[in-house]
Amino acid sequence: MRPLKSLTFEAYRDLLASVFRQIPDRRDPRRITWEMSAVMMSAFAMFFFQHPNLLEYQRRMKKKSGRSNLERVFGIEDLPSDTQMREILDGAPIGPLLGVLSEVFERMRRVGWTVNLVTEVEGQKYYTVALDGSQYFSSTKIECPGCLRRADKNGEVHYSHVVVGATLVRAGSHAILPLDAEQVCNEDGQEKQDCEINAGKRLVQRLRPVCARAVGGGLARTANGVRAGGQTRFARRIV
């Protein structure tokens, strides 16, 4: 595939589709109505069309114009109900998805688009990455085995899910490029609750081939990166 063609929407969509097809489906094959890859593409379409929630997405996609867009842009002819979609996606392994963003970065690097995200420090050129934790679910009633748990001063337990994202940034520029993400998630047999620091360490290990050299120059070094302003930053020198 020619470099610029690898950066079109169709190329990104096809990349996602190929990865979605690699997701193992643990359901009984005799009872499958909706293929896992199609359900995952439907879920991605919800974010692509910027619907505020799953129910609103379902409502709009039932209209003729919504169905037309879904089929034309993503090749999806029909949708499961919101309940079915949740049940199918809950617990689906995300391992195969972890390499998608790094593949996008590599495609952009090959055509020279990432040069605008290069940071220069003391004559050396770096890619600088910021790590930041974001909570995307919180409830006092709904929980799952992977939920983080926190009791408030009244003793009420709050359940939440958090993700640590790695983003390519450059000082003085509004341009960013997401690189990877790691869930902060409790697992079976885990004695201590997971935390953003541990998730960040796992994320750094995956990013080491891309971002292998930390920047000094007034920032406080940590074991796996550089910490400043509440975020962890590390960088790779461009050779």
Q: Is the pLDDT higher at 229 or at 43?
A: 43
Among 15-29, 96-110, 123-137, 202-216, the range scoring the smallest mean pLDDT is 202-216
Q: What percent of the chain stands above pLDDT 70? A: 80
Residue 2 pLDDT: 57
Q: Highest-confidence range of 52-56, 96-100, 162-166, by mean pLDDT?
A: 162-166
Residue closest to 238 by CA, chosen among 207, 206, 213, 205: 213
End-to-end C-alpha distance for the chain, whole angstroms: 26
Q: Using CA atoms, how far apart are residues 118 and 109, in angstroms rounded to an integer?
A: 11
HEC secondary structure over the chain: CCCHHHHCHHHHHHHHHHHHCCCCCCCCHHHCCCCHHHHHHHHHHHHHCCCCCHHHHHHHHCCHHHHHHHHHHHCCCCCCCHHHHHHHHCCCCCHHHHHHHHHHHHHHHHCCHHHHHEEEECCEEEEEEEEEEEEEEEECCCCCCCCEEEECCCCCEEEEEEEEEEEEECCCCCCCEEEEEEEECCCCCCCCCCCHHHHHHHHHHHHCCCCCECCCCCCEECCCCEEECCEEEEEEECC
CB 173 within 8 A of CB 202: no
Residue 219 pLDDT: 29
Q: Is the pLDDT higher at 204 or at 211?
A: 204
Residue 213 pLDDT: 40
Tell me what the pLDDT averaged over the chain comes to: 80
Q: pLDDT for 70-84, tens place per residue?
A: 778 888 877 787 788
Structure tokens at 3: 């470099």
Statement: residue 67 has pLDDT above 60: yes
Among 86-95, 105-114, 171-180, 218-227, the range scoring the smallest mean pLDDT is 218-227
Q: Highest-confidence range of 16-20, 96-100, 116-120, 233-237, by mean pLDDT?
A: 16-20
